[in-house]
Structure 1
Amino acid sequence: MPSTLPDDLSTDQKYLHDMCNAISVGVCPVDLSLRNPGLMNHSRWLTTGIAFYVCMCLQRTPQINSKSLFSFIVRVYAPMWFAIKMKPSCKDGGRHVFETINKSRYMKKDLHRVVDPVIQRNGYFGHPENLLLSMITDARPHIREFGVRRIMKARKEAKPGTVRVFKVPTLNFEAEDYTSMIDWRKEPITEPPVTMKIDDETLLRFIHEVVTPIVGFSRYSCHTQAVERHIKLVTEASVAVCGKESRDGFIRVRLESQAKIPKFETKIQHKI
Structure 2
Amino acid sequence: MSTDRRLLYKLILGISKGDISGVKDSTIGPVNQARWLTLASRILRLYCSPPDNLGTYVEIILERLSIFIIKVYFKMYSAVKYKNTIIDGAKHLFDEIQLVKTFCTVDERKVANKCIQNNAWFAHPENIMIAMCGDQDREIRQKGRNILRRLLNIKEWRKEEERRRKELYELPKKIKIREFHLPLIDFDAKDYCTMARIKFEKLSGPYNPPERGSFAVYTLNYQGPTKSQEITIPPVLAHMRAEEMDQIVECRVTAEFECHSQSCERGVATTHQSVKRRRTDESQLRMALSTVGAREEMSAKVTVKRFKDDFSKFL
- Fold agreement, TM-score > 0.5: yes
Pair 151,119 (structure 1): closer, same or farther in 2 beyond 3 Å:
same
For the Cα contact (< 8 Å) 1:76–1:104, is it kept in 2?
Answer: yes
Name the structure 2 match of 1:109: 106
From 17, 22, 39, the counterpart of 2:14: 22
Aligned pair partner of 2:237 in 172, 176, 195: 195
Contact 2:148 2:245 in 1 (8 A): no
Separation (CA, whole Å) in 1 of partners of 2:48 and 2:71: 16
Picking from 118, 123, 127, the partner of 2:120 is: 123
Aligned residue identity for 2:3: T
1:222 aligns with 2:229: no
Query: Pick from 118, 134, 139: which aligns with 1:137?
Result: 134
The reply to whether residue 152 of structure 1 matches residue 145 of structure 2 is no
2:65 equivalent in structure 1: 69
- Assess if the C-alpha contact under 8 Å between 2:90 and 2:122 holds in 1: yes
Structure 1's 16 and 174: CA in aligned 2 closer, same or farther, altered over 3 A? same
Cα offsets for 1:169-196 (capped at 9, x unmatched)? 1111111211111234351321111111
Q: Does 1:164 align with 2:178?
A: yes
Q: TM-score, normalised by structure 1?
A: 0.75
Between the two proteins, the alignment pairs up a number of residues equal to: 230
Aligned residue number for residue 204 of structure 1? 246
1:53 paired residue among 31, 41, 44: 44
* Alpha-carbon displacement from aligned partner over 1:137-166 (angstroms, at most 9, x marks no partner): 111111101112212222232356443111
Tell me if 1:98 matches 2:94: yes
Q: CA contact under 8 A between 1:97 and 1:123: conserved in structure 2?
A: yes
Q: CA deviation at 1:103?
A: 0.3
Higher relative contact order (CA 8 A, sep 6+): 2
Q: Deviations over 1:13-65 (max 9, x none)?
A: 1111222222223232x332232223333453111111221122111666111
Q: Which amino acid aligns with 1:200?
A: A
Q: Which has the higher strand share?
A: 2
Cα root mean square deviation, aligned: 2.8
CA separation of 1:230 and 1:44: change in aligned 2, threshold 3 A: closer
Give the stretch that moved more between structures: 189-198 or 76-85. 189-198
Q: Give ranges in structure 1 of 5+ residues lacking alignment.
A: 1-8, 232-255, 267-272
Preserved contact between residue 42 and residue 48 of structure 1 (Cα < 8 Å): no
Instruction: State whether residues 171 and 182 of structure 1, in contact with CA within 8 Å, keep that contact through their aligned partners in structure 2.
Output: yes
